[in-house]
Amino acid sequence: MQLNYIDAAVIALYFAFNVSIALVLRKRATKSVSDYFVSGRNAAWWLAGTSMVATTFAADTPLVVTGLVARNGIAGNWIWWNMVFSGMLTVFFYARLWRRAGVLTDVEFAEIRYSGRPATFLRGFRALYLGIPINVIIMGWVNLAMVKILTNVLGVSKVEALAIALGMMLVTASISVMSGLWGVLWTDLFQFVLKMGMVIILAVFAVSASGGMDSLITRLHEIDASRSSSSSILSLVPEVGSVWMPMITFFVFIAVNWWASWYPGAEPGGGGYIAQRIFSARDEKHSILAVLWFNIAHYALRPWPWIVVALVAVVRFHNDPQFLQDPESGYIRILVSDLPAYLRGVMLAAFAAAYMSTIGTQLNWGASYIVNDVYRRFMARGREERHYVIVSQGMTVLLMLISIVVTFFMDSIVDAWKVLMALGAGTGLVYILRWFWWRINAWSEISAMSAAFVTSLVLQFGFHLDEKNPQDFAWLLLITVGITTAVWLSVTLATKPEPREVLLSFYRKVRPNPALWGPVAREATDVTPQRDGVFNLLNWLLGVAMIYAFLFGLGKIILGGVAVGTAFLAAGCALGAAIYININRRGWETIVK
Residue type present at position 389: V
In a domain, 434, yes or no: yes
At 261 the three-state DSSP class reads: strand
How far apart (Å, rounded) are the C-alpha atoms in residues 479 and 463? 12
How far apart (Å, rounded) are the C-alpha atoms in residues 480 and 456? 6
How far apart (Å, rounded) are the C-alpha atoms in residues 277 and 289? 11
In a domain, 207, yes or no: no
How far apart (Å, rounded) are the C-alpha atoms in residues 352 and 186? 16
- pLDDT (tens digit, 0 to 9) for every residue of the chain, 593 residues total? 667 788 889 989 999 999 999 899 888 877 888 888 889 999 999 999 999 999 988 887 898 899 999 988 999 999 889 999 999 999 999 999 999 999 999 999 999 999 999 999 999 999 998 888 888 888 887 887 788 788 877 888 878 888 888 888 889 888 888 888 999 999 999 999 999 999 999 999 999 999 999 999 999 999 988 876 667 899 999 888 777 788 898 898 889 988 988 777 778 888 888 999 999 999 999 999 999 999 999 999 999 999 999 999 999 998 889 888 888 889 989 998 999 988 988 998 998 898 888 888 889 889 999 999 999 999 998 898 889 989 998 998 898 888 878 777 765 444 555 556 556 677 899 999 999 999 999 999 999 999 998 998 898 889 988 877 888 888 988 999 999 999 999 999 999 999 999 999 999 999 999 999 999 999 999 988 888 888 899 999 999 999 999 999 999 999 999 999 999 999 999 999 999 888 887 554 444 44
In a domain, 147, yes or no: no
In a domain, 441, yes or no: yes
How far apart (Å, rounded) are the C-alpha atoms in residues 111 and 94? 18
- Output the furthest CA–CA distance in the chain (Å, rounded): 72
- Residue 322 has a CB neighbour count (10 Å cut-off) of 11
Contact 76, 319 (CB under 8 A): no
In a domain, 195, yes or no: no
Domain count, the chain: 1
In a domain, 468, yes or no: yes
How far apart (Å, rounded) are the C-alpha atoms in residues 248 and 499? 42
DSSP 171: H
DSSP 529: P
Element containing residue 583 per DSSP (H, E): helix 562-584
In a domain, 448, yes or no: yes
Cβ neighbors of 587 (< 8 A, separation 6 or more) are none
Contact 303, 554 (CB under 8 A): no
Assign 3-class secondary structure to 441-479: CHHHHHHHHHHHHHHHHHHHHHCCCCCCCHHHHHHHHHH
Give me the phi and psi of 153, to 5 degrees please.
-80, -45
Cβ neighbors of 375 (< 8 A, separation 6 or more) are 388, 391, 395
How far apart (Å, rounded) are the C-alpha atoms in residues 87 and 77? 16
Question: What string of DSSP letters covers 485-521?
Answer: HHHHHHHHHHSPPPPHHHHHHHHHHH---GGG-HHHH
How far apart (Å, rounded) are the C-alpha atoms in residues 199 and 357? 16
Cβ neighbors of 107 (< 8 A, separation 6 or more) are 122, 123, 126, 127, 130, 369, 373
In a domain, 417, yes or no: yes
Give me the domain span that covers residue 421. 412-489
pLDDT tens digit string along 36-62? Answer: 888 999 999 999 999 999 998 888 789
